């Protein structure tokens, strides 16, 4: 699932947004905030070469797996902002969390370079158009990301990749606690959490039917995972 962005470097949105995923959201995110997040992502991956030189094939596969989940999350929040159907604290969460997820995408793509998988198309089946559906889906996505990162940690070979993954894992955990609170469920339900294997995560994502061949917005559906 990255080009490095050293702090202080002035870059254009076109340079960052290779597939157009950020253009709409970028118009609503202050320039300083956007570049600050991107630079932070570069720091998290600062111990890695770009693009992914010296990283094992296994770690490249894990990075692309993480990138696929970041694509899913960032597209979900970006569409939520574009549709503008959710309000109040939920809308604020979509803006803040969405900006972070887009920074994760940029970081992974910059690191992987040509080895990065392409962004698929998504149909979120109306979940971005309803307040409660949005929050329920956000809870599912954030819980899923936390379980996915935890499930891969013991398989990562590079210390630098592991450090970067852990730095993102803790952020995803904060996102999960935030959206759980907004949805009205306990942020930390258990004293201990188990990770989930890749096969199970991919099965869950496939069950949502959110990844599609053609992009559309309206419809019905929802995630089948809620933590």
Q: Which residue has the tokens 């962004």?
A: 119
The predicted structure's pLDDT at residue 159: 87
CA atoms of 57 and 109, how far apart (whole Å)? 16
Kindly report, residue by residue over 78-119, the tens digit of the pLDDT.
999 999 999 999 999 999 999 999 999 998 998 898 999 999
Supply the pLDDT for residue 111: 87
Mode of pairing for the β-strands spanning 121-122 and 211-212 = antiparallel
Considering only 23-27, 113-117, 157-161, 180-184, which range has the smallest mean pLDDT? 23-27
Cis, bond preceding 51 (omega within 30 deg of 0): yes
Q: Rounded to an integer, what distance in angstroms lies between the CA atom of residue 65 and that of residue 68?
A: 5
Instruction: Please give the CATH number for the structural domain made up of 13-212.
Output: 1.20.1260
Mean pLDDT score, 109-132: 93
pLDDT at 32 over 90: no
Every domain of the chain and the residues it spans: 13-212
Is pLDDT of 15 > 60?
no
Q: How many CA atoms within 13 Å lie on the side-chain side of 60? A: 16
The arithmetic mean of pLDDT across residues 10-38, rounded, is: 40
């Amino acid at each position: 699932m990255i080009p490095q962005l050293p702090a202080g470097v002035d870059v254009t949105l076109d340079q960052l947004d290779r597939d157009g995923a950020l253009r709409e959201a970028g118009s609503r995110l202050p320039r300083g905030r956007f570049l600050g997040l991107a630079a932070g992502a570069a720091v998290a991956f600062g111990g890695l070469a770009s693009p992914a030189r010296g990283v094992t094939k296994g770690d490249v596969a894990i990075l692309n797996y993480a990138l696929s989940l970041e694509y899913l999350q960032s597209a979900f929040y970006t569409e939520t902002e574009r549709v503008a159907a959710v309000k109040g604290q939920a809308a604020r969460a979509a803006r803040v969390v969405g900006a972070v997820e887009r920074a994760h995408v940029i970081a992974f793509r910059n690191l992987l370079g040509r080895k990065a998988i392409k962004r698929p198309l998504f149909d979120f089946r109306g979940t971005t158009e309803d307040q409660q559906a949005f929050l329920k889906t956000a809870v599912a996505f954030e819980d899923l990301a936390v379980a996915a990162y935890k499930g891969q940690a013991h398989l990562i070979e590079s210390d630098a990749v592991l450090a970067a993954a852990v730095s993102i894992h803790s952020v995803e955990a904060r996102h999960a606690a935030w959206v759980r609170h907004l949805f009205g469920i306990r942020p930390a339900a258990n004293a201990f959490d188990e990770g989930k294997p890749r096969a199970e995560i991919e099965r869950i994502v496939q069950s949502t039917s959110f990844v599609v061949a053609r992009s559309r917005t309206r419809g019905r559906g929802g995630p089948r995972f809620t933590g």
